[in-house]
Amino acid sequence: MSRVQLPEITDDMVTLEYNYAIRDKILYCRPPEDLRIRMLDFSNYCKNITNTEQKQNMRMQLAGDISREIPILFDHDKQLEKDFTNYLIEALSKFLFDSPVLDITLYKAWVNYMKKYEYNPLHQHPNAKISLVWYLDYPEEIRQEHQQQLNDFDENRSRGMVYFSSNFSHDHMTMNPKTGDMFLFHATHKHAVYPFYTDNTRISMSCNISNIFVRSVMGSKEEVFL
Ligand SMILES: [Fe+2]
């Protein structure tokens, strides 16, 4: 089964699942608009203060062929880190568990300034349990590029889109996100980003979550192993 979400998903928060590989589900959600704007402004701030060595270190750790991948320096805005973390705790509580999530550990966060022809090959995120991508600024012109492709079927269109491939079946999903959309997924869930061809910059933030703590049936704080 393949699936293309066109032109957009309209629910605020919904779990997307394959027919035969439920474990590889994806949580689609839309964090509050003011949080998106704060994160976008902070990403641009980090871009301006990050030195060349920090940028090179970030690029060496990531899979994409993207010229500008910037670390998110939460030490410079602890309140934003706290508000962002609280939103993720709320989202993860709905996504993964019956019991509420109490706390999480952010392992790494970065932002991609993707230009035309750049792409992210099929990859996973090592050393993490859950990963996410959040589209802070997604020009509408990129979202419409698929209409210039001459494929008869929506599922064969790919320009600028994000592709997820199940580890447990031959299923995949291809999505055409918009500004403000966020996807949370298991860190081992393989995904890729196809190039676009217009003169735009797409700004997306990614983050890895390494530890997740819930309240156990006995009432104590307990780490979850996925
Ligand atoms: Fe990724």
Q: If you ran DSSP here, which 8-state letter would residue 70 be given? A: E
Comparison of pLDDT for 112 and 62, the residue scoring more: 112
- Separation of CA 217 and ligand 1 centre (Å): 34
Q: Global pTM?
A: 0.89
Does the pLDDT at position 124 exceed 90? yes
Element (H, E) at 85: helix 78-95
Per-domain residue ranges of the chain? 2-223
- Separation of CA 219 and ligand 1 centre (Å): 35
Q: How far apart are CA 109 and CA 207, in angstroms?
A: 4
Question: Residues of the chain with pLDDT > 90: what percent?
Answer: 50
- Separation of CA 131 and ligand 1 centre (Å): 8
Query: Mean pLDDT throughout 84-105?
Result: 87
CB distance 138 to 152 below 8 Å: no
Cβ neighbours of residue 52 closer than 8 Å, sequence gap 6 or more: none
- Separation of CA 136 and ligand 1 centre (Å): 15
Task: Write out the DSSP string of 2-58.
Answer: EEEE-S----SEEEE--SS-GGG-EEEE---HHHHHHHHHHHHHHHHH--HHHHHHH
Report whether the peptide linkage leading into residue 121 is cis, meaning its omega lies within 30 degrees of zero.
no
Condensed to tens digits (0 to 9), the pLDDT of residues 26-85 reads 888 999 999 999 999 999 999 888 877 666 666 666 666 666 888 999 999 999 999 999
- Separation of CA 85 and ligand 1 centre (Å): 19
CATH for 2-223 is 2.60.120.620
Structure confidence at residue 169 (pLDDT): 82
- Separation of CA 186 and ligand 1 centre (Å): 11
